[in-house]
Structure 1
Amino acid sequence: MRQSITHVALVVRDYDEAIAFYCGVLGFDLLEDSYQPEQDKRWVVVRPQGGQGTAILLARAAKAEQEPFIGNQTGGRVFLFLNTDDFWRDYTRLVAEGVKFVREPKTEDYGTVAVFRDLYGNLWDLLQLREGHPAAG
């Protein structure tokens, strides 16, 4: 059996502001943006540039009970992990783009990591896994 996770849903306030941040600031590719009139929503999918794996579905909060989860999908824990082949290149670029890092870069046994907030407040790890790490690909 072969399975994979193709999308992870991220609850957002607004499609266009989310696209502007994830594509314009983080540099992700916009894979799909299609309107679904029967549900009055859009199917918006982004993925890190050059990425081949899991993509993010930008899912606008459609009900009042979903709104409190915008920016807090994991109760304050790091939610997503953006792995890079050059930590310092991407860290420097993101700082220049105004991305707010809440934990400064440090070297761990598994690699180099820093934590940043997205436009809604979700916490992300920017990391470069050490060579030979099982998840390094």
Structure 2
Amino acid sequence: MANIDSVRAVGIPVTDQDRAVEFYAGTLGFGKLMDAPMPQLGGRWIEVRPPGSAVTVALLPASERAPSGVDTGIRFTTGDAAALHAELSAAGVDVDELLVWEGVPPMFDFRDPDGNVLYVSQS
């Protein structure tokens, strides 16, 4: 029987792909792996990836079927949530409070320029 054996990419709908690349690559430090015209999507197929990650993030043109400004459910990890929280805050990223609870890794959520919600927890 055939089965699914991995996750290649998760998609995030964005209204301005150039602005999204600047945020994900420039502000978050993701590497850009692919940027190809994809007229059937109304824009380009762009994939970025956190350093060392096997899973990529596809920055897809927002549409009626896939609007921007959503809770993506995507959870990233970092070795130091407090330091990353401080850096993103200093860079002007819309971040929420750093949550630190007994027995739970520190975590926070933030929004990209389109208002898409993303999460970070300490690994």
TM-score, normalisation: structure 1: 0.75
| Residue 108 (structure 2) aligned to one of 107, 111, 114 | 114
1:55/1:108 CA distance change after superposition, 3 Å: farther
Identity percentage of aligned residues: 31
Q: CA deviation at 1:112?
A: 0.7
Match of 1:11 among 7, 13, 20: 13
Alpha-carbon shift at residue 2 of structure 1 (Å): 6.9
Flag the 1:87–1:22 CA change in 2: closer, same or farther, 3 A.
same
Shift of residue 124 of structure 1? 1.7
Query: Taking structure 1 as reference, are residues 107 and 6 closer, same or farther at Cα in structure 2, changes over 3 Å only?
Result: same
Rounded to whole Å, the distance in 2 between the matches of 1:41 and 1:124 is: 23
2:94 and 2:36 mapped to 1: Cα distance?
A: 30
* Deviation larger for 79-88 or 16-25: 79-88
For residues 12-33 of structure 1, what are the alpha-carbon distances to aligned partners after superposition, in whole Å with 9 as ceiling and x for unaligned?
Answer: 1011011011111111111111
Runs of 4+ in 1 over 6 A off after TM superposition: none
Aligned to 1:43: 45
Q: Which residue of 1 aligns with 2:120?
A: 126
CA positional deviation for 1:107: 3.0
- Using the size of structure 2 for normalisation, the TM-score is 0.83
Alpha-carbon displacement from aligned partner over 1:48-107 (angstroms, at most 9, x marks no partner): 1x232211111112x4x236x2112x4xxx621110112222122111111122233323
Which residue in the other structure is 2:84 paired with? 90
2:60 alignment partner AA: A
- Cα distance in 1, alignment partners of residues 27 and 17 from structure 2: 15
Contact 2:41 2:61 survives alignment (8 Å): no
Q: Where does the alignment leave 5 or more consecutive residues of structure 1 unmatched?
A: 130-137
Indicate the RMSD between aligned Cα atoms, in angstroms.
2.2
Q: How many equivalent pairs are there? A: 121
Structure 2 gap ranges (5+): none
Between the aligned partners of 2:29 and 2:113, the Cα distance in structure 1 is: 14
